[in-house]
Amino acid sequence: MHFYPKYARRRTSTTRVGDLLIGSDYPIRLQTMANTHTTDVELSIAQARRCQAAGAELFRYTTQGIREVEALAEIKAAVKDLPLVADVHFRSDVADAAALVADKVRINPGNYAPTEEEIRVRFTRLIALCKEHKTALRIGVNHGSLSPRIMQQYGDTPEGMTASCMEFLRIAVEQDFRDIVLSIKASDTRIMVTTVRMLVEAMDKEDMHFPLHLGVTEAGEGEDGRIKSAVGIGALLADGIGDTVRVSLSEEPEAELPVARELVEYFTDPKSLRYTQNQAEIEGHTLIYTCAEDDAQLLALHAAAECGHLLWDQGCTELIIRPTCTAMQDLAETLSKDILQAAGLRRYKTEFVSCPGCGRTMFDLQQTVAQVKQAFQRQTTNDQRPLKIAIMGCIVNGPGEMADADYGYVGAGRDRISLYRKKECILKNIPQEQAVERLLQLIREDNP
């Protein structure tokens, strides 16, 4: 029998974000991100309030330009009791402007500056602004959006993501700037977990102990999205890693918070079923997980959070879930297959990868995900070859971040969509009302 060791949190330094303290001396913080257009200040404030009521302790907005930074300043004036984060890609001038307004600025090392020299110049300037305005930084690396320089040296690998992050951390340490949170995200749960573990090791070697934010990108929605998030986030929480968490779902952001809370409590509360009744054992290459949940959603979440890391770390390729509650027993077989798929160990059904949407999304993402799923299920009832289909809100981050999807449906502008086969754009800027049908046609032609 495998009894779980007491939860032991990785020691970290403390990062202040507004009035919120993040790090191992404090509870694991829950956060989410707006899917409104940031310039729609009224809607953006209302969404922040709803998410705060659902448990968000930090709230992030897309700030793609100076107009969005100005809108964020208006939102900030109205939302004083919730730390706000500006999410910046591509434009270091926007990051500089956001540092004067937001409690924390997220930058992506993959698209911050073109050369090592430029990174040093721009990042040093940003750090000076952050020090002056007491603004924290998140260095947020994403699989699929590494810089060409890092890609050339390492490829799109855990080593590349770690190196990209460490490059920025060394500059911050040189400048004696410590209000930093790190994130390394990927849609592939195993890559995400491997990379975060690698980053922790790299930091330990250089005596750095920055807090970590956890999340699986493009996890999708519904039960599959929750299972995938739980596999990735749960594996790291089990290691004691993680100081803030976001569960990214293609749903309204307030729906993410109960899931994040449940995952955190499962690992950190000594009275949770993890430490009182659930247990795992290994027979050959099969993991057998016995669990006492009597609620289907909790069973899925806890089993996924627990089994991913055990499957990988113990070299298991098969999973048997044994609920002690008879009402749960019918669910066990499908759940086992879903967890194996979320852990990247088997693909038995079509996988839908979709981003949560944000201020960059120019079409109704949630409705589109539902439409594609429905249409695809109708079309491929007898299909024997499970595909991976990505539905991404924007062209800016979508194509790079849709991982190894077979087909991609990517927002290209207001009500305009581009369709991809692997990384190749097949149809560009087609009207949204034709896009689902054209995607299905493309898949039919490729898979007669």
Closest to ligand SF4 by CB, 109 vs 356, is 356
How far is it, in rounded angstroms, from Cα 240 to Cα 8? 5
* Minimum distance of ligand SF4 from residue 20's CB (angstroms): 23
Closest to ligand SF4 by CB, 90 vs 275, is 90
User: Is 287:318 a contact under the CB 8 Å cutoff?
Assistant: yes
* Minimum distance of ligand SF4 from residue 193's CB (angstroms): 21
Closest to ligand SF4 by CB, 61 vs 210, is 61
* Minimum distance of ligand SF4 from residue 35's CB (angstroms): 8
* Minimum distance of ligand SF4 from residue 359's CB (angstroms): 7
Burial class (CB in 10 A: 0-12, 13-18, 19+), 125: middle
* Minimum distance of ligand SF4 from residue 87's CB (angstroms): 8
Q: What angle do CA 360, 361, 362 make, to 5 degrees?
A: 110
Residue nearest to ligand SF4 (CB): 393
Closest to ligand SF4 by CB, 199 vs 396, is 396
Residues binding ligand SF4 (CB under 6 A): 355-358, 360-361, 392-394, 396-398, 401
Closest to ligand SF4 by CB, 336 vs 361, is 361
Q: How many CA atoms lie within 13 A of 10 on its CB side?
A: 25
Closest to ligand SF4 by CB, 17 vs 355, is 355
**DSSP per residue over 247-310, as a string?**
---SS-GGGHHHHHHHHHHHHH-TTSHHHHT-EEEEETTEEEEEE---SHHHHHHHHHHHHHHH
Sole residue written with tokens 């990209």 = 164
Closest to ligand SF4 by CB, 12 vs 62, is 62
* Minimum distance of ligand SF4 from residue 62's CB (angstroms): 6
Sole residue written with tokens 């939860």 = 7
* Minimum distance of ligand SF4 from residue 361's CB (angstroms): 4
Closest to ligand SF4 by CB, 211 vs 398, is 398
**Residue 204 neighbours by CB under 8 Å, 6+ apart:** none
In DSSP terms, which residues pair with 184 in a beta bridge? 141
350 three-state secondary structure: coil
DSSP state of 330: G
* Minimum distance of ligand SF4 from residue 140's CB (angstroms): 11
In the sheet that holds 416-421, the strands lie side by side as 351-354, 388-392, 407-413, 416-421, 424-431
